[in-house]
Structures are given as C-alpha cells and as structure tokens.
Structure 1
Amino acid sequence: MRVTAWQVARDADVSQSAVSRAFAGRSGVSEETRGRIFAAAERLGYRPNALARGLSTQKSGIVGVVISQMSNPFLSDALERLSHRLRAAGLKPFLITVDNEHEVGAALPALAEYRVDGCFVISPHLPRDLARKYGTSDATVLLFNSALPGLKASTVYTDNLAGGRTVADLLAGEGHRRIGYLHGARGSATDGDRFDGFSTRLAERGIDPPVVGWGDNSYTGAAGALIDLMARSPDLTAIFCANDVMAMGAMDAARYQLGLEIPRQLSIVGFDDAPPAAWPGYNLTTIHQPVEEMIDVGAEIMLAEGRDPGRLPTSKLFKGRLIVRGSSLTARQPATGS
C-alpha cells in the first residue's frame, strides 16, 4: 500500500501542510522539523507524488523534450546527453517524438496540458513559418541546433552561415569547380543558412552556383538525390550535404551504386560530426558541432528561466569546427601515376 503524506505527518508529529512545504523546499519549516519529516519519510518509504506537488508549487519538475528524426545519430546523441543533464538537475524529461519538422510546432501547445516547466526542442531544421504560427506560445521554449527569429524561445545553435563558408573554402581550395549541394527539407531556416553561407562564399571565389538536390534529411532520400544529381550533372566533383546522415547516404550511393571512388572521383562533406562520421566505413569530413557544450549551456538557460519567469529569451551562438577526414581530397596523400 502506498504511504501517504498524512502518515508521514502523523509519524513526525507535524501537520500535513508542513510535510508538503518540506518536500517542496518552501519556507515556513524549520531545519529541525524538516529533518524530522525526512527521517519519517525514509522510515516509512514515502515517495512524494510529483504531480500533486506540482499543483501546490506551480512547478512539475518535468521538462518536455520534442524531437524529430530520432534516427539521426547526431540528434539521438544530443537527446541522451540532455536526458542525463536534466536528471542530474533533479528534473524529469517528458519525451514527444514527431515524424517531421512541421509537426514540432503542434507539439508546443500540447505540452502545456502536461504542466511541463519548459520545453527543449531538438530538431535538425525548423520551418520558417513556425514563428508565425506559434510565436505567441506561453511555454518556456529552448531550441537546440536551431534559431528562428520571431519565436519566443531561447536558442543554442552553431553558426551555420560560417560553417557553410568554411566548407566552400575547403572545396575551392581542393580545386573543385563543379560542386553540388544536397538540401534537407524545404523551408528550413538552418538548412537555408548553411546553403547561403556556402553559395555566397563560392560566388566570392568566382565559382558557379552549386547544383542542388533534395535529400529529405534522410539516408535513403540522400542516396536517391545523389544518383539524380550525378545523372543531371555527371561532371560534379564534390558534394556538400546539409547534415551527416545525408552525407553518409550520398557516400554509399556513390560508392556502391555508381561505382565512384571517394574522394578520388567525388569528395563529400557533411555537417554535425555525428558519432558515425568518424567510423572507418565513412571517415567523413564534416563541420563539428560542440553538442556537449550546447546541451550544458541550454540546460543552464532553461534552469535560469525556470527560476526567473520574467527573464528574456537568450541566444547562444557556437562556432563550428572543420574536421577533415578521408572523404575529401585534402585528407589523403596526392595520387601518383594518374
């Protein structure tokens, strides 16, 4: 049978309201009384009901986490790190998975029904109309890996424009002049920034605009898009993909369906530095996002907003770092006899 707060109060010789205040961390309970209550609770095996406690404190201790594309290893790694970070802070993650970026916004008002203290959104890309539809949401929202002007939300994200420019410099420096770009989802702000930085820098270096394809932010979609791209433009020598999952799909399609050698015949670059990017089978050149630091800072921002509901949204921009591996020409020794 479940032990109740009334039983703890009787054992500790205090009122039931004193038990509630003690476990909620509120004032009005002396340290001696609080210690007596906790000792009685431990003796009886009492565990406070989080939802009931939330009704009295207006805090549930629950943080909603909305994630799209759980199959993306970069995002699943971020989710695991976030879950550990929240639990270490005494909070409980409440997970909602959605099939695509366009369903993220609909999850925000739904979370309010569960009395979450805040919401962490983990999505590779967010549609630009999200701010128009949900910009007035009352929920405390933090966007991971995304920034969306007009949405009442704090953000932790990597400088996508600078990352795109860095990849353009890399490929131009390798001597590539016919270059492609695989987009993820249409209308994505993050993808748009990566492409804008990439294409603008190519133009500054006197290189034609990249030939574009659409990979639907997925391994399978990118594989099909790569085959289509090479059929339309067989003279392409390098491809920049909007994320690592698509880069891996493109690599496998190039190698195993088109018979191309990576990187001798085609260089491929990704973005994220997801854990599989360093696997020997891919050895992918990519832009590293400091996921651990981003999660830590994001959690701190959310905790601060929980302590001060009037705090204005905060944006934290991180710098990506180029990781050169074996999928681009600069990662190998110059070829001989060719």
Structure 2
Amino acid sequence: MIVARAPLRIPLGGGGTDLQFYSSRFGGFVLSVAIDNYAYVTTLQPSIEKGIRVKARINEYAENLNDIKNELVRASCHASGVTERLQITFSSDLSDGTGMGTSGAYTVCLMQTLSYLKGKLMDKKDLAEAAAHVELDILRRPIGKHDHYMASYGGLKLLRINKDGSVIVEDPPVTKKTLHELKSYLLLFYTGERRESSAVLSAQRELAEKNDGVRVYEYYHRIKDIGMRIHESLIHSDLIHFGELLHEHWETKRCLAGGVSNPRFDKLYQLARNNGALGGKLIGAGGGGLFLLFVPPSEKERVRSTMYQGGLEEVSFSYDWQGATLSNGFYSPRRSS
C-alpha cells in the first residue's frame, strides 16, 4: 500500500493568470500558499484482482483500464504505464468543487504513487509537470499549472508562468513574522455550495476567443497587476494594504463571465465588509466553494457571527511547508511466481 498526500492551496494574488488561454499570450503571475488541508490517494496492487478498482465519489471496477469511467485514473495510468492490477482510493479534507485545487492535488498524488510503482521517484518540478500534463494535455481541461505546482511544492510560492508554458518557482522574500501576522487576519468559510470549475473557466475561455478576448484579457491584466501589488505588500509587511488589494481583486474578478459570484455571495461579502472585513475573495474559479476574508483580529468575532448566521461554516487551517509526500512503509514489490 502506498499513500500520497498533497496540500490544497489559497491563491493570494494573480489567481487565474496561469490559465492557458491567458498565460500563453501574456504570461502568468500567481502568488499562492499551501495549507494543511490535504488530498490523499492510496494505491494498492491486489493479489488476486488483475483489473482496476477505483474508490472515489463513484466506485467502479473494470478488467480493462479503458473501461474505467474515471477519466483522471484512466489518463494517469496510461501516462505512467501502470495499466493493471490496481486499487486506487481517493479522499480529501475538502471535497472537489470547493475551489481549493483538489483535482490538481489528486493528480499529483496519483502520479506520485504510480511513478513509485514503476520504480521512479520524481523531484517536485517533474511531479508538478507530470500531473499538469495529465490534466492539461491529455484531458484538455481549461485550467493552468498553479494547482499542480502548489500541491507538489507546498509553502509560499511565486509562480511565473512563461508564454511557452514553462514555470519558474520562486520563494518570495516574505518574513516568517509577516506570514504569521497575515494568518492572524485571515478567515476561511465554506459557502455550502460546490461547483465544477471547468464550467466557469470554459465560459471565460470562450469569451476570450471572441473578438480577440479584449474585455476578458483586460480583466486578467488587472488581476495580474493586483497580484504583483499584493506580492509587494507582503514583502513590505503592509498587511492593511494587502486587505485593501484583496477587495480590489474581488471587485475586478466578479466582473468576469461564467458566474464567478451570485446575489447570495455578493450579499455575504457585503455583510462581512459591514462588520469589519477589509477584503475577501471566493477561492478558485468562483461560483461556489470557500470564502477567504481579511479581517482585523479585533473584528473577527463579529465577522464569524455574521457568516454563521448566513449559513457558512468556518474552515480552520495553517500553512503547509512540505508539499507532496509519499508513505510506502507497507509496500513491497509484487514477486512473479
């Protein structure tokens, strides 16, 4: 039995500029931090079953890999060359559809365990690229590489996505004291609504392809600029400005197509602002999932109470500094008779 674990993430600035339709033309800039909510994949090679068994939201078994309906399993197994005698189990602290990068983290875990079965240990960059290859190139999902890199690396990272798709990973010069203080201002809430990011992102990509996407690109230019200023605010330990920029990001992103926000979320955000929050965002593509709010510590209880009354559930978190990890204590290579 092999167990892989990979962290989910909170994009702090520039989120979405890694999307292929944008980064391939203008380059991307994403500042993000991994958190201690995780995705897990357990891989086992059974003694008597030669087929593929998947334990996920929908459980299934097939003698032939091509008959497996779970496209992530099917694509990852083909990419890794492990195509039979497998039992794969998915689980996570936060389910997919919450905007936290669960699908990317699952893919990182899956590629890590399958590669180990082939006798290959990948470094963090190769692991991120292998996972991104599955989702972007094989499955053609309308996403970027942000989730895969954060799940693989962990920590606080600045990702510079080049037009050719290559990614430069940097450690921002932000002090531990600043990161600790930043954490004291942040609150995370589950809205109770899930959504598939592909629907939101596909709508934005389709709009970008019309009339050369001028309007969509303008919004993403602003998001990138705000992300760069958020990066600078953390370097200079200017947390109040960080909160103000988070609000500017909210006002910009909600103008994008595809149902990024809705009347309920707009109302909840305004209530949070009325009770002391300086800024906030729906994490990920939007349309559901989790709210991140920036709240001065003295106002936290008021905001918590307001969000509870609105039906939201708080999600506790800390930072993750390990990235993807692998536990193989129970695994021994299968011997042929």
TM-score by length of 1: 0.24
Q: Which has the larger radius of gyration?
A: 1
TM-score by length of 2: 0.24
